[in-house]
A = this chain, B = another copy of it.
Amino acid sequence: MARWAVRIEYDGRPFVGWQRQITGLSVQQVLEEAASRLAAGRIVTSITAGRTDAGVHATGQVAHLDFPAETRLTASSVRDALNFHMKPHPVAVLQAVPVDTEWNARFSANRRSYRYRIVNRRGRLALDEGRVWLVKRTLDADAMALAAGHLLGRHDFTSFRASACQAKSPLRTLDRLTVTRLGEDIVIEAEARSFLHHQVRNMVGTLKLVGERTWSPERVGEALRACDRRAAGPTAPPDGLYLTGVGYDPDPFNTESLPS
């Protein structure tokens, strides 16, 4: 067996999410079917660092693929052939590197980075429909940034966890949560070793309540301490969410200079 790590970009709009489902096309299915074409039709399975939901995008998703040992592969042939076979689906392999079979895209990962994009204006979206969250009420990004500070560190994030979340523990360490406004664009960056299901979208949906002055920044800390999903705000839509990067130590993708 030959294991390959791939760094992937995708537009989440046409997919039911990362994971295979009988209800529709998934990113996983597109990737695995393309990989199978490289392996003379034999089944190739993948494991991913982050199983993104329907409508969620990625600029730096990572997965590994297990090819039959006899498949002849090079870094550029894996990248280019996967890209060829994934057409016309909006999924692209940015980089492919061989890894040993101890390495695992999910379990070797020690960092996940997400970006959430809000466009704060009255006019509807023409360029970024499905790619950002359009919020028409004026948001106070400074208040949102202040509120975000209450969520940093190691906490029980039950209040921000989807009921369907399968993680054993609700404890997570949030290392970064910044809110930045540039004109009508508000960008929220979140970073942690791992996140609970819907955690980023639930944090964003709660910060939005602060931004529109429905909530005080302090109330976000109270919602966290309540350890009750009903204490926090609603789930922000998937449209604005991007998995931007996955961290490994050492980073298998560092072996090539960019652009490769």
Contacts and interface: CB of A to CB of B under 8 A. Distances in A.
Interface residues on A, range: 20 to 34
Interface string A68-99: 00000000100110010001001111110000
Q: Determine how many copies of this chain the complex contains.
A: 2
B79 A122 contact: yes
A111 interface: no
A11 B90 CA distance: 17
> Of A91, A121, A126, A184, which is in contact with the most chain B CB atoms at under 10 Å from its CB?
A126
B92 A124 contact: yes
B260 A90 contact: no
A94 B79 contact: no
Interface string A116-158: 0000111111110101000010100000000000000000000
A194 B172 CA distance: 54
Given A259-B120, A259-B121, A126 B79 contact: no
Nearest to A6: B123
Nearest to A136: B259
A59 interface: yes
A22 interface: no
Contacts of A124: 83, 87, 92
Contacts of A59: 127
B79 A123 contact: yes
Given A184-B258, A259-B138, A9 B122 contact: no
B10 A122 contact: no
Given A9-B126, A127-B10, A259-B184, A121 B94 contact: yes
Contacts of A3: none
B9 A127 contact: yes
A57 B127 contact: yes
A62 B127 CA distance: 16
5 contacts: A9-B123, A80-B122, A92-B126, A94-B123, A136-B259
